[in-house]
Chains A and B, each alone.
Chain A
Amino acid sequence: MIEGLYQALTLSTLLWLTVGVMIGMIVGTLPGLTATMGTALLVPFTFALPTGEGIAMLGGLYVCAMFSDAIPACLVNTPGTPAAMATAFDGHPMTLQGRGQEAIVASCFSSALGTVFGAGCYLLLAWPLMAIALKFGPPEFCWLGVFALTIIGSLAGDSILKGLGGAAIGLLISCVGISHGNELSRFTFDIPPLQGGVSLVAGLIGIFAIPQVLSMVSELRRKEFIAEYKPKSGETLKTIRKVMEHPWHVLRSSAIGSFIGILPGAGSPIAALVSYNEAIRWAKDKSQFGKGDLRGVTASEIANNAAAPAAMIPLVTLGVPGSSPAAVIAGALMLRGLNPGPELFQNDGALVYSFGWSLLFAGIVTFILGSLFAPLLVRIIRIPLRLLAPLIMLLATIGAYAIRNNIFDVYIMLGLGVFVFLVKRLGFHPGPIGLGLILGPIIEPSLIQALYISDALGVGKVFFTGTINISLIVLTIVSVGLVAWSRRKDAIQERESTSAKS
């Protein structure tokens, strides 16, 4: 491990790592350019470099993109990658209150914390954590998805029914296309491009960016800018202190992010959502969540960054990548004739460890660059709305197209965007719809597989035995119960206060 540290600490490794981080900054900021696409575009350039430097650059890009996707999420309410959806819930309200710089600096610092924690897990606990993660089979994944759905309770706004409705719409949209396992077409209405399903990235851009643009246009007469912004000096230190006021919160978010990152197939978006939900559950004062609570931003950003190095753990221990960018990095290694997995760990342990250290340093470099650029980045909100709205529209369109080079995805994005803009006026929140879109591909295949396994072993044994299953079920019931209880309490209080007034 120490040998790996020496390898990672060379000037050229740090230099290429920084280049990767800078590219990641751009990739993450632009909606539609995901970390997967960024790393894939960068792979050919890394062949000119030695292996250690090459994968350090790819890792730097991945880590930084998990931070910079928070920039558009906070400033213009459009997550740069699916992993930043939960960041927008509190980050954008903060911007609207003139706390844009605080939100960006907090994201950046949280990302660094999360990355260092995740990389620490990679360096110290890769094998034992992987052994636990392997206990997650189809029924466990299914329950994890169901548990993550309980976040609706925190996202739904005034009506829990509309929240459930929104999530149902999202889940249904995620079912479009050829089904998992038995190759049947669903909801395709004989439109061939729908066979491939609705792209998650294009869908999320539609749900978040388009309604944002439309409401900017409809507010043009009343508002010239998104929000006020005055650069403040000393903001960085002040924000760091604020984040560190909640050490237990930081630790919890890091642990959740790292563990969910290790589960093959779950990834950063789920890590951020579960962490956000837990942040609300454990907070004493829940009233400010969704209205600009700093802890909402840090919960999401710590977790989605911790998940990035953690997603490399199944790659180096089992030879199975834990996320799509990890898969691209696996491909880059295989092209060099290396077989990522237990074999590589044995034959070239120094390389495996130096990669872990590189990921850790990438978090630190991300923080340095991010906090330096934060005052500049926040100025995006000083672009007049009449310029900003078409600019976001342009970026959204290019992003939706670029994800699969398919114009049909642009139509889907526009259609969903207009739909969400309209239902928003009926009190639906885009959050639950996005949640359904993200969780559908986790819940559905695992549910189907678990049901097949039930044919052999029985439903009760598959779904309702095992520590993990039981824990997730209990957590789900407790979550639902707590939401129902607190909503009832709020309703009674409100009734009392209105009757007191009259």
Chain B
Amino acid sequence: MKTQNKYLSRGLLGVVAGAVLAVSGGTAMAGAHGGKYPNKPITFIVPYSPGGGSDQQARRLQPGLEKALGVKVRIVYKTGGGGAVGFGELWRSKADGYTISNVVVPNIVIAGKKASVGFKAGKFSYIGMTERAVGALMVPKGSKLKTLKDFIAAAKANPGKITVAGVGSTGKVNMAALGSILNIKYTYVPVSGGVGKMIPMLLGKHVDAGMTASNHAVKHKASLDAVVVAGSKQIPALTNVPNESKWEYMTTWGVMAPPGTPADRVKVLSAALLKATRAPSVAKAISNGGYENMYQTPAEAAAYIAAAVKKFGN
């Protein structure tokens, strides 16, 4: 009995050791060096919680990127601080082209304004912007504030009593822009972790309205009504929703790498990104989702960020 026990415990040790090897094998692979780029999995940081716009962007691009680059693209979530946690994580990552992340403009500029976050929005290596959506103010179905007229009237009747949720400081800036155009007072409620966390708050009527973008308004059309969208024209997927042309707010999604990533690797990533975004299925999914498609070179993306830094960075 005793010897049998011994064998059994050895066998068990073997099983555990095997599992350890399997796990450490995965990490060891990530340490391989040399050779052609890329030759090991690429980590894609998503700075907002699953279910939000950045998550959807990353998931849409993942298969195309994997095919174009010939390696696995692993998506990891680094959420918090209105995106600042994930952006900061990328800032501190090795600039070897094996870690990339979403970039959301102007979120990164607004979050990066605070010295304590430790990164500078203008200094990342930008690969390209892939899509953009205009700001949208939303209310739950059945709300009394469904039309822009009602919303303004209610806000003027009870200044500061209407609550508007938004994602971190970015939502705050966005709502402030609309608030000053409409000349209303309201109370802003910051949500951490992205729009995915805000939807249940809206559906449960814990806040009166939510500040998001046109893509979310399209996705949740069945349960939420858009009051107004930003920009000079209406959104085809959102008929009957008025646009406010003085409100220029726009959210842009793209892909970036840590500052100082070698130019040749940025080039490889850019070619793969353009290929992935041009794929008909992806391009269609983007336009049907209430976004505008974008195809940018790294230089164009850097210029786009520089303009945003100029606009929002002070």
Contact = CB atoms under 8 A, between A and B. Distances in A.
B85 A197 contact: yes
Contacts of A405: 27, 30, 43, 76
Nearest to B169: A183
A457 B161 contact: yes
A496 interface: no
Contacts of A50: none
Interface in A334-360: 334-335, 337, 339, 341-343
Interface in B154-171: 160-163, 165, 168-169
B187 interface: yes
A138 B62 contact: no
A185 B116 contact: yes
Contacts of B220: 319, 341
B5 interface: yes
A404 B169 contact: no
Contact of B50 (A30, A184, A331, A339): A331
Contact of B80 (A136, A137, A196): A196
A54 interface: no
B197 A265 contact: yes
B85 A177 contact: yes
A455 interface: yes
A445 B81 CA distance: 11
A263 to B, nearest CB: 9
A331 B59 CA distance: 7
Contacts, number: 187
A44 B63 CA distance: 9
B238 interface: no
Contact of A402 (B23, B75, B191, B219): B23
A60 to B, nearest CB: 18
| Interface residue tally on A, bucketed by range | 35 or more
Contacts of A453: 163, 187, 189, 206-207
Contacts of B206: 137-138, 453
Interface string A254-282: 00000000001100000000000000000
Interface stretch (A202-210, A320-328, A481-489): A320-328
Nearest to A32: B23
Contacts of A452: 163, 187-190
B118 A195 contact: yes
A37 B222 CA distance: 32
A398 interface: yes
A457 B285 CA distance: 41
B65 to A, nearest CB: 12
B265 interface: no
B20 A395 contact: yes
A337 B189 CA distance: 33
Interface stretch (A85-93, A291-299, A374-382, A432-440): A374-382
Given A138-B206, A331-B55, A456-B162, 6 more contacts: A134-B204, A138-B189, A184-B116, A343-B222, A383-B13, A456-B186
**10 nearest CB pairs, A to B:** A137-B206, A327-B50, A178-B81, A181-B190, A180-B192, A134-B204, A456-B187, A185-B116, A452-B189, A331-B59
